[in-house]
Amino acid sequence: MIDWSLMIAPETRAAEARAAARAALKTRRDAEIAAGILCEGLPVATDDVSQARLAGAALAALMDPDLRLGWKLPDGRFVTLDGAQVLTLARAVRAHVQACFDREAAALAQLDAG
């Protein structure tokens, strides 16, 4: 005898597949965000902690136009950045993060469209 209560409906399978695809897109987006960028010849970390630190440095640069600070690059080197450089890095990181979300949104729209 077949136990029909164990059958998974096609709609349920499709919903589970869509949920898995959406989760995979989020995982990919997060990996791309954290991959880092190159800005004005400098490697720049873009993980969540680095973004927060750079946002704090950018705020300091906005408050103090004469700001100069030591910044550690992902390769372990230290460089001295002025306020304008800090803001340039912050803008580049923000653009990188936004581009990752934009790509995810486009992929999700394609997924939803079938």
Give the burial class of 15: count Cβ atoms within 10 A of its Cβ; 0-12 exposed, 13-18 middle, 19 or more buried: exposed
pLDDT at 93: 98
pLDDT at 5: 66
> Would you list the domain boundaries of the chain?
36-113
User: Which tens digit of pLDDT belongs to each residue from 4-32?
Assistant: 666 777 788 888 888 999 999 999 999 99
Measured distance CA(72)–CA(51) in Å, rounded:
13
Give the burial class of 90: count Cβ atoms within 10 A of its Cβ; 0-12 exposed, 13-18 middle, 19 or more buried: buried
pTM (predicted TM-score): 0.86
User: Which tens digit of pLDDT belongs to each residue from 27-37?
Assistant: 999 999 999 99
